[in-house]
Each structure stands twice: as C-alpha cells, then as structure tokens.
Structure 1
Amino acid sequence: MMDGFGMTGGYGYGGLFMILWWVLIIVGIVALVKWLAAPLGAGSRPGSGSKALDLLKERYARGEIDEQEFQKRKRDLTQ
C-alpha cells in the first residue's frame, strides 16, 4: 500500500522543493549579512587609501611633516 506517498519514501518533489527553498533562504541571509557588513570594513580594503592616510596623520602628529605638506599629500591621496 502506498499511503499517498508514492514510491519515493514520502518526499517526492515536495521534499526536493522544500530543501531548495531552505537553501535559498540561507543563501539570501548570508548575502544580506555580507552586504550589510561591507560598509563597516570598507576602510580596510586594499587600495582604499585609508592605511596611507592613517600613516600620513601619524607623521603629521609626530611633527615629521608640516601642515602644508600634510594637506598636499592628503589631497593627493583622496583624489
């Protein structure tokens, strides 16, 4: 007797679609979390210039460069 489940042990296409549905939900949540977290780490990405700007600020704070040099180099880095 089949009990309405057929020969697939009770899952059939409904079970397959249920698994795919949960995979899509999990992938969507992971993508959303990555998208929301991206602005938080944007300054630490390579090529962003943030590390160079931090180093420039440190040099200015230590007195290694004057304000005019600091402003010139800052302008160069942020263009």
Structure 2
Amino acid sequence: MGWGWGHMVFGSLMMLLFWGAVVLAVVLTVRYIGGSGGRAESSDSPNRALAILEERFARGEIDKEEFEERKRLLSR
C-alpha cells in the first residue's frame, strides 16, 4: 500500500520530460524552417552597415571625411 506516492512522482517526472521534448521539438522545427537559426545573415551585413553609415551621414551625425573613411573601410 505504500507504493502510491512513488508512481505519482514518476508520472510527474515523465510528464515534464514529455513536455520538455515537445517544446524542444517545436523550437528546433521553427529554427530549421526559419533558416538562419538565430544567426545573423553575413551576406546582408555589409549592405546593412553601409545603409546605417549613409543614414548617419544624412542626419549629420558624422562629417564627410569620416563618412568617406568608413565607407572605404567597409568596401574592403
């Protein structure tokens, strides 16, 4: 008669493992379908950096010399 609590703990543990596996499967599926898996896309990075640089120049945050120097560094 003393075995009732043991089964309850085991059942709870198995339920936690089951739902953890379900959540893990969903996360991995979303990452796989999404493609990048949370990583930054390297092919777009130079274009994005240049766009930010042009925006900063247009807002007057940097002068022409600094803009040209950074643009030259990005084009390497």
TM-score (norm 2): 0.48
Structure (1/2) with the larger helix percentage: 2
Higher relative contact order (CA 8 A, sep 6+): 2
Greater Cα radius of gyration, structure 1 or 2 = 1
TM-score (norm 1): 0.46
